[in-house]
Amino acid sequence: MIKSNLRNFPSAQKRREFLEQELDIKLDKISGFNFPEEQVLGRNIENLIGSTQLPLGVAGPLLIRPGGVKAHLRGVLRYIPLATTEGALVASVSRGCKAIAESGGAEVFVEEVGITRGPVFKVKNLKGGLETKKWIDDHFPDIAKITEQTSNHLTLKKIGCRLVGRNLFARFYYDCQEAMGMNMVTIATQQAIELIEKQTKAKCISVAGNFDIDKNSAWLNFISGRGKRVWAEVILPKSAVKEVLKTTPQKLAEIVYRKCLLGSIMSGSLGFNAHFANIVAAIFAATGQDLAHTVEGSLGITTAEVLDNGNLHFSVYLPSLVAGTIGGGTSLPTQQEALKLMKVNGVLEYAAVTSTAVLAGELSLLASEAEGSLAKAHQQLGRNQKLKVKSKEVF
């Protein structure tokens, strides 16, 4: 029998005391948190009992050239907050940052694709589905108007429809300015659904019909993009590859081809990279993003080519980076400090710094594998805490 409803307790302390008594345990460490209960209850979490902590490290400095982001990024060194329990990750990203800085910096391009919501409608037949699709296409301005009335920070960019059997899927793309915006677009799309149902014979079965595609790994997000689409590249002189990364351009290019491309094909992976998710998850945890969007952030391609002069062109492509710099967990105290540490002015710069951190992480890990030092690095930095090994000795 359930003795008590956790929602009925007036505070985190009372709820925690009940659990301690009920389970005969102590929750002393969980009890500490540095945010007001009223700030998070009903907004970020339910049944609050405390907080959990992750070690927070900083990688860098990272140098980004202007490229496709705002010019005031020129010459500014960035530091990357990484919340993780994986030993060697921060040291590895820092080594990649050093290689990038000594090569003149990375160039980054960011494109606003839009956050998506993808309802599914039940239609009478194929003809009815095509007629509904045509109505949506012909009345885009009317749909945009009604969705944009729900928020001053939201713009409907486009709608893409697909029909299969008696099911019409509609993928709405929104620009939510600095917010990630999933709650905003759900509310806006619901208003669009009511208009579509009123004007057609279609019946919405779900506001989220997995055509979004939200917090799932899918080719649609890979091909069409979601959130921000980001490219980052660096040209590394042979000397930087040798002195910082302890390998050669040829070995790095070969391991990218055989591991990231062929290995991913053989395994049916949607991520043609070494470990995008590692860096994305650590930055997301530090800065208050929705951690489930690491799924989309894991998609992407790493490429490497040896140029005619022997230098190395190295790049990453992230087609679906879903993040924001306001709203959600970004407003919590420690997450706010982590965002300030990154010195980003808005979500486009956040995407630029995150993708360049991914570039650094890919460079260092793949170089370690090419050199054959990956196991040694994790043994010394990730396992044996008694060995006081400087990161430069391994990475």
Residue 378 annotated in active site? yes
Q: Which residues pair with 163 in a beta bridge?
A: 168
CA atoms within a 13 Å half-sphere pointing along the CA-CB vector of 347:
26
Question: Of how many residues is the chain composed?
Answer: 395
CA atoms within a 13 Å half-sphere pointing along the CA-CB vector of 73:
28
* Amino acid at residue number 386: K
Residue 349 annotated in active site? no
Q: Provide the 10 A C-beta neighbour count for residue 149.
A: 11
CA–CA distance, 63 with 56 (Å, rounded to integer): 21
Query: What is the rounded radius of gyration, in angstroms, for the C-alpha atoms of the chain?
Result: 24
C-beta separation of 53 from 69 below 8 A: no
C-beta separation of 22 from 3 below 8 A: yes
Query: Using CB atoms within 10 A of its CB, is residue 8 exposed (0-12), middle (13-18) or buried (19+)?
Result: exposed
Cα–Cα distance list, 172 to 118, 150, 158, 294 (Å): 6, 15, 6, 21
Catalytic residue among 17, 20, 86, 111: 86
Helix (H) or strand (E) holding 276: helix 276-287
Residue 131 annotated in active site? no
Q: Which residues pair with 109 in a beta bridge?
A: 231
CA–CA distance, 342 with 165 (Å, rounded to integer): 48
C-beta separation of 121 from 168 below 8 A: yes
Catalytic residue among 254, 290, 305, 369: 290
Residues known to be catalytic: 86, 290, 378
